[in-house]
Structure 1
Amino acid sequence: MTNETNPPIFHGTTILSVRKNGKVVVAGDGQVSLGNTIFKSNTRKVRRIGDGSVVVGFAGATADAFTLFERLEAKLEQYPKQLTRACVELAKDWRTDRYLRRLEAMMAVVDQDVSLILSGTGDVIEPEDGIIGIGSGGSFALSAARALYDIDGLEAEDVARRSMKIAADICVYTNNNIILESL
């Protein structure tokens, strides 16, 4: 239902990160939905930032995510080669800053050594298995990635692509237009 008090809500993101055999990938679908309508099918939700050694995927409001990308890049300049510290400092700002705390997004942030989930509630979480799934289809992609992870011959990119396809087959807010960045 859409009216003055309940405006249409943008839905749709599946972000998945898989770390395996010395490689890490972040994959994101391209769909944005407004209510029950596909609004856009080729949105780029995964980006390299800084000097290219950090990959970020976002779920949530696009303008909010771009604001957070910029803030994270600034933190990485302030704390070079210290992704965890930069993310903790961003999470502190995100939670306490009057403007930032209204931003609605989650981020999967990775470099060669660490994978992190950032949220507006101040969370900076490093998953114990190196797999992250966020967004509307994130739990589907995460489940698929965990099931596929131990299959011999599947590398991080293979696991991510297959898992994203499974998520797209289940979640109506996820499509098969996958962008994948690898380190």
Structure 2
Amino acid sequence: MSEQERFPGWHGTTIIGVRKGGKVVVAGDGQVSLGQTVIKGTARKVRRVSPGGKDVVCGFAGSTADAFTLLERLEKKLEAAPGQLARACVELAKDWRTDKYLRNLEAMLIVTDGRELFVITGAGDVLEPEHDIAAIGSGGNFALAAARALIDTDLDAEAIARKALGIAAEICVYTNGNLTVESLDAR
């Protein structure tokens, strides 16, 4: 029996980051699935951390334990480089790509300090999204498309994130409507 047959894999997250009108919002759904079974519908995959007294909002997709490991590492990087989110993200991505233990972690992150918005991947990427919208996870492409369609409307960043996640939840079976939303003033 293959590993995939023994353990069909965790699915179920959509995370979106939207910057508009002086706000940056990171929002995520609450569903965690194992194969075709919903394990939990109220997971919190968006967190606010405050290393050095500066708020940073992080959303994660992928393995929860892996994501928490990465969030702890990011906090340490931010403590070592206060107020330098880009530097901390690049340092995390370098460690993630080169460290024997970390390179096996399966997760992605969206992080913002209100000024910058990044997607961090295990492939060593630290990406600034185009159009001030980033989305990751099972329903990420659905949420991204919806938010891109809504960005030029009168809706604010939070309303766009909520509506985009609602649309993703209607399309992606690994996404639900139990949302966690965190916002920061754009600087």
TM-score by length of 2: 0.94
Q: Distance in 1 between matches of 2:3 and 2:106?
A: 18
Q: Distance in 2 between matches of 1:85 and 1:105?
A: 20
Aligned to 1:120: 122
For the pair 1:135 / 2:156, whether they are aligned, the reply is: no
Q: Distance in 2 between matches of 1:52 and 1:104?
A: 27
Give deviations 1:115-162, integer Å, cap 9, x for gaps.
00000010000012110010000000000000011112x100010011
What one-letter code is carried by the residue in structure 2 that aligns with 1:90? L
Q: Distance in 2 between matches of 1:5 and 1:125?
A: 31
TM-score by length of 1: 0.96
> What is the aligned-residue identity percentage?
64
Tell me: CA distance 1:124–1:72, structure 2 relative to 1, closer, same or farther (3 Å).
same
- After TM superposition, list the pairs within 5 Å mapping 1:142-157 onto structure 2: 142-152=144-154, 154-157=155-158
Are the aligned partners of 2:54 and 2:83 in contact in 1 as well (CA < 8 Å)?
no
Are the aligned partners of 2:143 and 2:167 in contact in 1 as well (CA < 8 Å)?
yes
Q: Distance in 2 between matches of 1:89 and 1:39?
A: 33
SS at match of 1:129: helix
Give deviations 1:15-67, integer Å, cap 9, x for gaps.
00100011000000000011101110000000011235100000000000000
Q: Distance in 2 between matches of 1:177 and 1:144?
A: 18
* Dislocated runs of 4+, deviation >3 Å: none
Q: Distance in 2 between matches of 1:89 and 1:10?
A: 27
Q: Distance in 1 between matches of 2:63 and 2:79?
A: 24
Q: Distance in 2 between matches of 1:137 and 1:111?
A: 24
Q: Distance in 2 between matches of 1:21 and 1:5?
A: 47
Aligned to 1:58: 60
Aligned to 1:84: 86
Give deviations 1:67-97, integer Å, cap 9, x for gaps.
0010000000000000000000000000000
Q: Distance in 1 between matches of 2:129 and 2:27?
A: 16
Q: Distance in 2 between matches of 1:8 and 1:52?
A: 39
Aligned-residue RMSD, C-alpha: 0.9
Aligned to 2:3: 5
Higher helix proportion (structure 1 or 2)? 2
| Unaligned 5+ runs, structure 1 | none
Q: Distance in 2 between matches of 1:182 and 1:52?
A: 13
